[in-house]
Structure 1
Amino acid sequence: MSQIAAEVRHQSPHSLGTAYCAAKVSRAVGRRRTLDALYRQERAGLIAYLARRVGSERARDLVQDVFLRAATSPQLTELVNPAGFLRRIACNLLVDEARRQKCRVRAQQRLENADAPSRARQEDAVHVREVRQALEIALAELPQKTARIFAMNRFEKKSYRQIHLELGIALPTVDYHMMKALAHLRQALGHIC
């Protein structure tokens, strides 16, 4: 990193833009390779670790969240103990989930027509339209297979196992495509939501 900074300082003003862009692209490629390698090496261990605590199906979803958090971490390319880093994220997610379960509000059934439905404010409708449009654009940017797997899971409410059986692909492939889709959508929609 400091070597890149030193090179950028000694560049002429005209070539500064290309050097900066090249360094940025290089870091992005390095992050992607690091994340892919971590995913391949640590996924099964994390699923086993989480499955003992929350069950197999929920563990797969939490592993996706672990890798999403890891993907956005600035420390990703400088890890000394990647397995420990991912395990710490997993522990934090378990703690967050336990807190949500503890604080979950139980709703009482409402009486018939006791609360009349209210219309959303105009700003809310505009915001929903903007988010929906940004989501459609982000989904269109995904590879077709990745977008299809994401749609099956999130829109059609199919489990990873159902997608695996329906498409005839391995469960780790479903995990991988979901991780890629969620990371892309988080990046694309982060500034809107």
Structure 2
Amino acid sequence: MTPPDRPDAEPPQDERPTLDELYRRYSGWLTAVLRRRFDPNQAEDLMHEAYVRLGPYQAKGELRHPQGLLLRIAENLAYNQARGARRDRRRMGRLAEVSRCHEPCTQAEQLQALLFKQVVEGLPQPLRDTFMLSRYAGMTYAEIAEHCGLPVKTVEWRMSKALALIAARMRD
């Protein structure tokens, strides 16, 4: 048991601040910081979500530095939202490209597309899966690695090998 005279000793259960007290103490500060660092329109949403995520730490009594933890949680939430928005923009760009494909194709373009499809279908299964997940499902190498249970380097190698085989077969 920790001696009571240590400054880093955990306060007894009844002396720990409640989530409501923490909210009153830090919400204004956290909102102001988030407005300066991120989108001011999302600052309050980030602050509220940070408090929701802080709840389990407080309930377990694992809350030693609530101000720092709140800031870290809110920053991580903001970064995750930004990453998701970038991913959505990339996917929307790809959808826009697909929608432009409604123009009539010439016979040569149709033959080229058929040849490409045959070449991709002729790839070894691991290479084909990696290629399809990357190019058609829009997954990043890290997402493919997690999905398939592989190291990212293996995904990178498979993708480079697939692209090299496709390029060689399309030239022939």
Per the normalisation by structure 2, the TM-score is 0.41
Q: Which structure's CA Rg is the greater one?
A: 2
Per the normalisation by structure 1, the TM-score is 0.37
